[in-house]
Amino acid sequence: MALHGGDIYRNKVEIDFSVNGNPLGVPQSVREALIRAVGQCSAYPDMETAALKEAVARMLAVPKEYLLFGNGASELFMAVVHGIRPKKTVIPAPSFYGYGYAARAAESEIRYCGLNRENGFHVTKDLCDNLTEDVDLLFLANPNNPTGCLLDCETGLHILRHCKEMGIYVVLDECFVDFCAGNPSLLSETENNDRLLVVRSFTKSFSIPGVRLGYLVCKNEPLLARIAGQLPEWNLSCFAQEAGCACAKQKAFMEETERYIARERAFLEEVLKKEGFRVFPSAANFILFDTKETPCGISLYEQLLRQGILIRDCQNFRGLGRGFYRIAVKTREENIKLEQALKQAHDAGLKSDGNSFHCVSVTGSKTERIPMKEIDYVLPEEIEKRSFAIIGEELSQRNICIPESEKSIVMRVIHTSADFDYAKALTAFGVLLYYAMILAAATIVYIAAAVVLELLLLMLQKAYVEMTFSAPVAKGLLEFFKIFNIAGVVLLAGCAVWAVLFARGGKPVALPAILAAASGALWVVSLVCRFIYPDGVRVLMLFPE
């Protein structure tokens, strides 16, 4: 499954509803700027992006020193986490995949905070309960992707104040805010909070995802310098800089876009509701809806793709699951084609009762409608985790103890085969192999130790004959060897007890077990060696009591 929308390169697509661009397309002046940039291709682009900074600073009414540009917002997210190096990052879920991707790249621990489906996935002040002193960074979106929810102004200000008090950096993603009515941006808060970083993108607003141009606004100049240090040189092409300067002058175009989006979004919401889908209210240029489709049926994604329409399957968003989709707001002509395609998809086998999809199955000549309301939608990565927990409990109840080094393999085999006898067989084989390895290691140790011991005894014999050592000293050394052998007997007994506990499903401790087995084996083998090579016994005879 694609991590993002816009996968037109591996699919036959006529209309792409998976990418949230501007339905009005690229403004004419931006097209002309891109053509002008062709003449600059023989020179390096401006590394300082001076003209672009001036244009965007005027557009936003912020000092140009607050600005930093990236090859799309995604590059800026990556630069931010490498500049801050957060030990712990908080991310609401569902939200844009790129936040977690960037945090993992910086080896930050991620705490996902699930948003409530019943309130439309809106962020509330309860998020502050997860913003504790050990948190370094918060990713927040206004509006959120894929839900389209705006951040309530009072809630947003409350969260920003809390983060400032706790010393938490906030990355506020406003890449879609230009599509929202009423100017709901929190950009002005950058003046009051030097830990606030607002990220935006020209990609979505002006339908130029192939150009790649995003920008960051923050008043903390030392922090901006650290982040800039994570960006490559000449990260903005001459095309991006020329297009950006033209985009910064498109106020009238974006006002027209805002009105157009509101009208077409309302049209699409009615289309989706008529088809029986649950539609989540959106303030952006895209809509999230829930089909509650059955896993055994053909998905809506596949049905529409067969008709040349690509939509965003949202089941890989944390907090969503199978049956959730997102569509972009397009032109009226394209939106009507989507409406027609949805009706054809239903005719092809999708049935809806207004609340949930049903699977139509045929058993012999009997057709059944199976309700799917009780299905628990689980993310793919959670399935194995749940299965392993259940398998672990079952193994414990059956007194099957598996070494840690083998546990993941055994549990994965049981997960796919549901065969617990495999665990018993593998455990029995593992015990034999485990003891064989210990015995082999102990034998090797003894061979080396026996050679050294015999040399010491022979040297001791020679030293006594030549009167180099006194008899008490030599006898004391021999007593030490006797005590060592007695200790070997005790350890051997301990090894036997441990073996019984292992067989009965206990939890052995590896290091004492190996020491016990090795010492016991050394003692046993020493008796055999003394019988075969009794020189050591003759040495003992040199020292009468």
Query: By 3-state DSSP, what share of the chain in percent is helix, strand and coil, each rounded to 5?
Result: 55, 15, 35
* pLDDT over 90 percentage in the chain: 53
In what helix (H) or strand (E) does residue 287 lie, and over which residues does it extend? Answer: strand 286-290
d(CA 115, CA 120): 8
Beta carbons within 10 angstroms of residue 444's beta carbon? 11
pLDDT of residue 438: 59
Whether the predicted pLDDT of 414 surpasses 80: no
Give the mean pLDDT of 497-501. 56
The encoded tokens of residue 174 equal 């406003």
Q: What angle separates helix 404-417 from helix 380-397, to the nearest 10 degrees?
A: 110
Kindly list the distances between the CA atom of residue 344 and the CA atoms of 305, 307, 326, 350, 371, in Å, as whole numbers in the listed order: 12, 9, 19, 9, 21
Give the mean pLDDT of 111-127. 93
d(CA 23, CA 25): 5
pLDDT of residue 373: 46
Strand intervals (E) in 329-385? 351-352, 357-363, 366-371
**How many Cα atoms occupy the beta-carbon half-sphere of 526 within 13 Å?**
25
Contact 399, 505 (CB under 8 A): yes
Please, which pLDDT band fits residue 387 given cuts at 50, 70 and 90?
Answer: confident
- Residue 42 contacts by C-beta under 8 Å, 6 or more apart in sequence? none
- Residue 289 contacts by C-beta under 8 Å, 6 or more apart in sequence? 272, 277, 278, 279, 280, 324, 325, 326, 327
Pairing label, strands 357-363, 366-371? antiparallel
The encoded tokens of residue 451 equal 């050679």
pLDDT of residue 388: 77
Q: What angle separates helix 50-60 from helix 238-247, to the nearest 10 degrees?
A: 20
The single residue listed with the structure tokens 């033209």 is 246
Please, which pLDDT band fits residue 529 given cuts at 50, 70 and 90?
Answer: low
Give the mean pLDDT of 473-492. 59
* pLDDT over 70 percentage in the chain: 64
- Out of 11-20, 168-177, 390-399, which region has the weakest mean confidence (pLDDT)? 390-399
The single residue listed with the structure tokens 């006594």 is 464
- Residue 219 contacts by C-beta under 8 Å, 6 or more apart in sequence? 63, 66, 190, 191, 194
Please, which pLDDT band fits residue 507 given cuts at 50, 70 and 90?
Answer: very low
d(CA 80, CA 171): 8
d(CA 419, CA 426): 11
Instruction: Give tens-digit pLDDT for 274-303.
Output: 988 999 999 999 999 998 753 333 478 888
- Residue 303 contacts by C-beta under 8 Å, 6 or more apart in sequence? 341, 344, 345, 348, 350
Main-chain dihedrals φ then ψ at residue 146, nearest 5 degrees:
-105, 10
Q: Which of 450, 464, 456, 465 is nearest to 530 (CA)?
A: 450
Which parts of 134-250 fold into alpha helices (H)? 153-166, 202-205, 221-228, 238-247
The encoded tokens of residue 208 equal 């130029």
* DSSP letter for each residue of 250-265: -HHHHHHHHHHHHHHH
Instruction: Give tens-digit pLDDT for 190-233.
Output: 999 999 999 999 988 999 999 999 999 999 999 999 999 999 99
User: pTM for the whole thing?
Assistant: 0.64
Q: What is the mean pLDDT of the chain?
A: 79
Contact 450, 419 (CB under 8 A): no
d(CA 92, CA 129): 12
The radius of gyration of the chain from alpha carbons, rounded to an integer in Å, stands at 35
